[in-house]
Amino acid sequence: MSIRDGDFIDELRSTENSRIGLYVLLLAGIVFYLFPVETAVMTMFKTESAFARTLPFAPPGADGFTLEALSTAWNTLRPGLLNSLLMAIPATIMSALLGSLTAYGLTTISWRGQVGVVVLIIAGIFIPYQAVLVPLAQFWFQVFPGLVEGFVNTLFGFITGGSWQYPSRNGYVQLLQLSVTHAAYGIPICTLLFRSYYQSISEEMIEAARLDGASAFSIYRNIILPLSLPMFAVTLIYQFTQVYNDLLFALVLINEPASQVATQRLAALTGGVIQSFNTTMAGAIVAALPTLLVYIVFGEQFAKGVAGE
């Protein structure tokens, strides 16, 4: 009996040990991920001289503390932040919504040639940004204005007398173009995410709804959409981060200083000849705030979506 007790205690001890091991590992993980963030936060509150004489991760101390870097970064980034949100939020919602609708049409409704469309959409995920830059710029700056002008002239030619011009250099129009570009570019990956989720939805339930008299759109609106909220959280977070962090499309499509997005502003802030680390860090932190916020707001739903509940 005593031997057995000993075994039991050993076992208890070993589970305790493995638990301690787990916590050590988790702690190490936290340190690994948060250490650079802590360093950035410390640096952004330091004066140039304090940065030079203290360790990067050490607090600034009373004499080395300043809010100047933060306020410089904030003032430089603020218009860009607003533009970024104006561009990224509609783009994200559009890709998620269109992706979900496309996925619905490709899974729960059956029609001829579906597989071909799925293949094309999956191929769309792998088109590199660089490959489309030139055609994209050409499209938005020449083909599209031409189309709009032609359309307007044909329809309202006698009213405008050819005097109306498509405002391709208008800042908001450029933001809209960037937004639409991102929305279109996001559709394939969103479709793929939603498709795999919809394939797991019970087919009998959809059939029950059809027998209940629901139209294809009503099934989407009343059944599929409410059931895909966790998946929306996943795509919203993923797509928002993608769109918000993009610099390449923004550089090509936006040439009006007033409509520059946050990433462009950040590049301008850090791209000077003289490196001032405190403003760079402050800029990075400020620019990261919206994505951080999105993660916090949708985090729980995100976890559900990833876990496939």
Partner 1 sequence: MAQLTLDEVTKTFQDDDGEIVAVDQVSVDIEDGEFLCVVGPSGCGKSTTLRMIAGLEDITRGEIRLDGQIINDQPPARRNVAMVFQSYALYPHMTVRENMAFGLEESTDMPDDEINERVEKACKDMDIFELIDRKPGELSGGQQQRVALGRAIVRDPEVFLMDEPLANLDAKLKAEMRTELQELQQDLDVTTVYVTHDQTEAMTMSDRIAILNDGVLQQCATPLECYHEPNNLFVAGFIGEPSMNFFPTTLEGSTLKGEWFEYELSDETVAQVEGTTDITLGIRPEDIEFVQSDTGSNVFDSTVHVVEPRGNENTAHLQFNESMDDQFIATVGGMKQLKAGQRVKVRFPENAIHLFDTNSGQAIRNRTLDEIETVESVV
Structure tokens given for 252: 């090509």
Those residues whose C-beta lies under 8 Å from the C-beta of residue 292, and which sit 6 or more positions away, are none
- How far is C-alpha 107 from the chain's CA centre? 25
- DSSP string computed for 186-217: HHHHHHHHHHHHHHTS-HHHHHHHHHTT--HH
Nearer to partner 1, 41 or 214 (CB): 214
Please, are residues 43 and 277 in contact by the beta-carbon 8 Å criterion?
Answer: yes
Please state, in angstroms and as integers, the Cα–Cα distance from residue 90 to each residue in 109, 249, 273, following that order: 27, 16, 36
Minimal distance, residue 237 CB to partner 1, in Å: 22
The smaller minimum CB distance to partner 1, of residues 16 and 207, is found at: 207
Question: What would the DSSP string read from start to end of 84-146?
Answer: HHHHHHHHHHHHHHHHHHHHHHHHTS--TTHHHHHHHHHHHHT--HHHHHHHHHHIIIIIHHH
Q: How far is the CB of 227 from partner 1 (least distance, A)?
A: 6
Phi then psi dihedrals of residue 223, to 5 deg: -120, -55
Residue among 208 and 292 whose Cβ is closer to partner 1: 208
Q: What is the largest CA-CA distance in the chain?
A: 103
Look at residue 63 and give its three-state secondary structure: coil
Contact mark string toward partner 1, 150..189, x via CB under 8 A: ----------------------------------------
Contact status: 113 vs partner 1 (CB under 8 A)? no
Cβ at position 213, least distance to partner 1 in Å? 3
DSSP string, 254-282: ---GGG--HHHHHHHHH-SSS--HHHHHH
Minimum Å gap between C-beta 200 and partner 1 is 12
Size of the site for partner 1 (CB under 8 A): 17
- Give whichever of 110 and 163 is closer to partner 1, judged by the CB atom: 110
Q: Which of 74, 34, 32, 41 is nearest to 59 (CA)?
A: 41
Binding mask 190-229 for partner 1 (x = CB under 8 A): ------------x-xx-xxxxxxxxx--x---xx--xx--
- Cβ distance to partner 1 smaller for residue 74 or 210: 210
Rounded to the nearest whole angstrom, what is the least distance from the CB of residue 219 to partner 1 in the complex?
Answer: 9
Tell me how far, at minimum, the Cβ of 89 lies from partner 1, in Å: 26
Least distance from C-beta 309 to partner 1, angstroms? 11
Please, which residue, 227 or 292, has the CB nearer to partner 1? 227
**Which residue number, 230 or 290, has a Cβ lying nearer to partner 1?**
230
Q: What angle do CA 193, 197, 198 make, to 5 degrees?
A: 115
Give the nearer residue to partner 1 in terms of CB position, either 105 or 186: 105
User: In the bound complex, what is the minimum distance in angstroms from residue 209's beta carbon to partner 1?
Assistant: 7
Query: Where do contacts with partner 1 occur on this chain (CB under 8 A)?
Result: 202, 204-205, 207-215, 218, 222-223, 226-227
